[in-house]
Amino acid sequence: MTGDQLLLESPGGDAAFVVELKAFSGPLDLLLSLIREEQVDIYDIPIARIAEQFLARIRTLGLNDAAEYLEMAARLLRIKAQMLLPRPDGEVWEDPRAELVRRLLEYQQMREVVDLLERRGEERRNQFARTFTPPDAPAPPPMLALSLADLLAAVDRVLRAAKRPSVHDVVSRPLDVPAAVAVIRALLALRSRIRFTEILRHSTDPSFVLSTLMGLLELAKVGELRVHQPRPFANVEIERDAAGQAA
Amino acid sequence: MTPLAKLLEAALFASPRPISLAELAELDPEAPLAAVTAALEELREHYNVDGHGVELVELGGGWQILTRAEYTEAIERAQLAARPQRLSAAALETLAIVAYRQPIGRAEIEEIRGVNVGGVLKSLHERGLVDVVGRAEGLGRPLLYGTTPQFLEHFALRHLQELPRADELAIALRSAEPAGVE
Amino acid sequence: MTPLAKLLEAALFASPRPISLAELAELDPEAPLAAVTAALEELREHYNVDGHGVELVELGGGWQILTRAEYTEAIERAQLAARPQRLSAAALETLAIVAYRQPIGRAEIEEIRGVNVGGVLKSLHERGLVDVVGRAEGLGRPLLYGTTPQFLEHFALRHLQELPRADELAIALRSAEPAGVE
């Protein structure tokens, strides 16, 4: 399908719409389709005519903003200028189109492979593989002896007990996890076991509570401590993990 | 069916990916490789002769059971499974170049296609169709790309050699061999 | 097998979940429900009488093809015995960066490698070779990655300090093959 047809077929389609549809996959693709339309010999391209067609086409298709197409347009115009220079007498004349022809042939060869891949891909697409996979082995045991939901519920209780923050006052302070981590570490250095509420004793500011929660989860994850809740809704106990620290 | 063919069928049925001959042979450590090959042939015959909705196909360096193409439309219409999206022209062009010139760097692909391929390479990499296979010498040591087993699967190729050699294509260029074939 | 039984077989094979009778009936709008039930029975019979590695079972309000229980053990054993997959070059490079720069964020790895590493990091994480070890300061508080005990095991290292220092690396690479690396 050429770009022109596409332009006609797209209802109310403006130029930008066409670019998005990628009627051509690049300047070489467009150039090759022009050469085919004009039925000219790829080894003897009438460069002036093709260059003009190319420019007209990228304007029609709204491709004149695409650097790659502009670069090709410039290249074509340069070759056109070179073709106009008088050919040296007796010397070997190097056709300024040679490099372009080589690239076009290389591109054409690649398109042949694309056709083949497209055919094979379409055949394969029409066959389904097995998609049902039986339930896998159970996931490895969780690292915490406590579910996140339980911990969050505990946070919720602490927040409820705290002063009610005014509705419009969005938590303005960013979470400060490193500070919370420092507090937790300091407390654990003093005692091997502390309770969640004890950490929050000196502040129930929501951002501090959340920072502490994040800090606990991170320290638990790296194995510095263990978090434990003896029964639902009980206070959460935090224990220094000697093994984790040694590792 | 022979017990070995049944065992192979069970394993092939359970797998969403092709299984290599070596892996199939692991299923029964007693069975010689020739027996495994014979059992595969038996299974393929059975599906063909007996008339099944599925068939046994060799692709992507292994064996896989696939549904027959004639049922695809009905299955899709009933919304029981969906065909994957087609690859874009840009993706196909890039894959064709990588397949024939691997290992190949991004700059060289762009030289052939005449456009920037950064985004296409990234999405091909994410889909597992190409992978980084090394680094080139020289300035900046650019990454080199090659095709993956999933590439073969996607195009139902048994191996890369199944693609025509460069000099067998209608437009034969320089005598470039499909380089770096795995 | 009848054409309807073949169609059902293909659909049951392709579907990621059990399929209800009503859904199976949609595959062929011409076929009366009784014919669908009969075709299911035919398929089940075929798998049982002919001796297949799979069977047709009704569960969870639908129909499903499953591998026979007697083969599951062999399949699982083969999966265990399967040779461990090699890490891709992309995965190894990323792993090396994590090992030497941990804790390190994704953006920093991408800066060093020059490519998107989202997919690679994910697969390294799934293999248990890297894990999230914290969060960086700054915008978005990006995740920081580090290596795991499995990483040490995989490379037969007792501890991270056993890795050669970055400045010793050139000498270490020249003098010996790294042990235990696949």
Say yes or no: C121 and C73 in one domain.
Answer: no
Angle at A213 between CA A211 and CA A216, to 5 degrees: 110
Q: Is residue B15 part of a domain?
A: yes
Cα→Cα distances A202→A177, A192, A197, A212, Å: 16, 19, 10, 12
**How far is it, in rounded angstroms, from Cα A243 to Cα A47?**
77
Say yes or no: C122 and C65 in one domain.
Answer: no
Q: Which chains pack against B, by 3+ Cβ pairs within 8 A? A: A, C
Do the Cβ atoms of B116 and A68 come within 8 Å? yes
Interface test with B, best of A71, A126, A132, A136 (most B CBs within 10 A): A126
Say yes or no: C73 and C124 in one domain.
Answer: no
**How far is it, in rounded angstroms, from Cα A179 to Cα A194?**
17
* The pLDDT of residue C123: 83
- Tell me which amino acid residue A2 is: T
Strands B54-59 and B104-105: unpaired
**Highest mean pLDDT: which of A64-73, A226-235, B88-97, C151-160?**
B88-97
Q: Is-contact A91 A97, C-beta < 8 A?
A: no
Structure tokens at B138: 């020289």
Question: Which positions in chain B touch A131 (Cβ < 8 Å)?
Answer: 16, 81
Q: Long-range contacts for A57-64 (Cβ within 8 Å, ≥24 apart)?
A: A57/A3, A57/A30, A58/A30, A60/A3, A60/A4, A60/A7, A61/A3, A61/A7, A61/A15, A61/A18, A61/A19, A61/A23, A61/A24, A62/A14, A62/A15, A62/A16, A62/A18, A62/A19, A63/A19, A63/A24, A63/A30
Residue C159 pLDDT greater than 90, yes or no: no
* The pLDDT of residue A243: 56
What sign results for the dihedral spanned by CA atoms B13, B14, B15, B19?
A: negative
Residue A141 pLDDT greater than 60, yes or no: no
Q: Is residue B82 part of a domain?
A: no
Of C10, C16, C137, the CB nearest to A132: C16
Min Cα separation B14/chain A (Å): 7
Please count the structural domains in chain B: 2
Q: Is-contact A71 A27, C-beta < 8 A?
A: yes
Min Cα separation A211/chain B (Å): 35
Sequence-ordered list of residues with C-beta below 8 angstroms from that of B138, at least 6 positions apart, any chain: none
**How far is it, in rounded angstroms, from Cα A43 to Cα B115?**
23
Of B26, B47, B77, the residue that ends a domain is B77
**How far is it, in rounded angstroms, from Cα C119 to Cα B131?**
11
Say yes or no: B59 and B101 in one domain.
Answer: no
Check residue C13 and report its DSSP letter.
H
Specify the pTM: 0.61
**How far is it, in rounded angstroms, from Cα B26 to Cα B10?**
14
Q: Is residue B181 part of a domain?
A: no
Say yes or no: B54 and B14 in one domain.
Answer: yes
Structure tokens at B98: 């990588």
Sequence-ordered list of residues with C-beta below 8 angstroms from that of A70, at least 6 positions apart, any chain: A58, A64
Structure tokens at A28: 């070489």
* The pLDDT of residue C167: 63
**How far is it, in rounded angstroms, from Cα C21 to Cα C83?**
41
Q: Is residue B103 part of a domain?
A: yes
* Cα-only R_g, chain C: 26
Q: Is residue B109 part of a domain?
A: yes
Say yes or no: B60 and B104 in one domain.
Answer: no
Q: Is residue B108 part of a domain?
A: yes
In SS3 terms, B115-171 reads as CCCHHHHHHHHHCCCEEEEEECCCCCCCEEEEECHHHHHHCCCCCHHHCCCHHHCCC
Of C15, C137, C141, the CB nearest to A131: C15
Say yes or no: C46 and C104 in one domain.
Answer: no
Residue B77: CB atoms within 10 Å? 11
Of B47, B77, B107, the residue that ends a domain is B77
In chain A, positions 173-202, which contact chain C (CB-CB < 8 Å)? 177-178
Do the Cβ atoms of C81 and B26 come within 8 Å? yes
With a cut of 50, list the residues of chain B below it in pLDDT: 174-182
Q: Is residue C58 part of a domain?
A: yes
Q: Please give the torsion angle defined by the CA atoms of residues C75, C80, C83 and C87, in that order, rounded to the nearest 10 degrees.
A: 120
Q: Is residue C131 part of a domain?
A: yes
Q: Please give the torsion angle defined by the CA atoms of residues C75, C78, C80 and C81, in that order, rounded to the nearest 10 degrees.
A: 170
Structure tokens at C15: 């579907």
**How far is it, in rounded angstroms, from Cα B145 to Cα B133?**
5
Question: Which positions in chain B touch A129 (Cβ < 8 Å)?
Answer: 16-17, 64-66
Say yes or no: B58 and B124 in one domain.
Answer: no
Say yes or no: C68 and C112 in one domain.
Answer: no
- Tell me which amino acid residue A85 is: L
Q: Is-contact B110 B117, C-beta < 8 A?
A: yes
| Closest residue of chain C to A134, computed from CA coordinates | C66
- Parent domain of B56: 3-77
> In which band, very low, low, confident or very high, does the pLDDT at A184 lie, cut at 50, 70 and 90?
confident
> In which band, very low, low, confident or very high, does the pLDDT at A244 lie, cut at 50, 70 and 90?
very low
Q: What average pLDDT does the segment C135-158 reach? A: 81
Of C15, C132, C149, the CB nearest to A132: C15
Of B57, B77, B97, the residue that ends a domain is B77
Nearest to A114 by CA among B131, B164, B146, B60: B164
* The pLDDT of residue A216: 86
Domain with residue B60: its CATH number is 1.10.10.10
Nearest to A104 by CA among A81, A79, A84: A79
Of C14, C133, C141, the CB nearest to A131: C14
Say yes or no: C35 and C108 in one domain.
Answer: no
Nearest to B127 by CA among C85, A121, A116: A121
**What are A69-122's pLDDT values in tens digits?**
999 999 999 999 988 888 877 778 888 899 999 999 999 989 989 999 999 999
Say yes or no: B24 and B66 in one domain.
Answer: yes
Do the Cβ atoms of C10 and A128 come within 8 Å? yes
Say yes or no: B28 and B52 in one domain.
Answer: yes
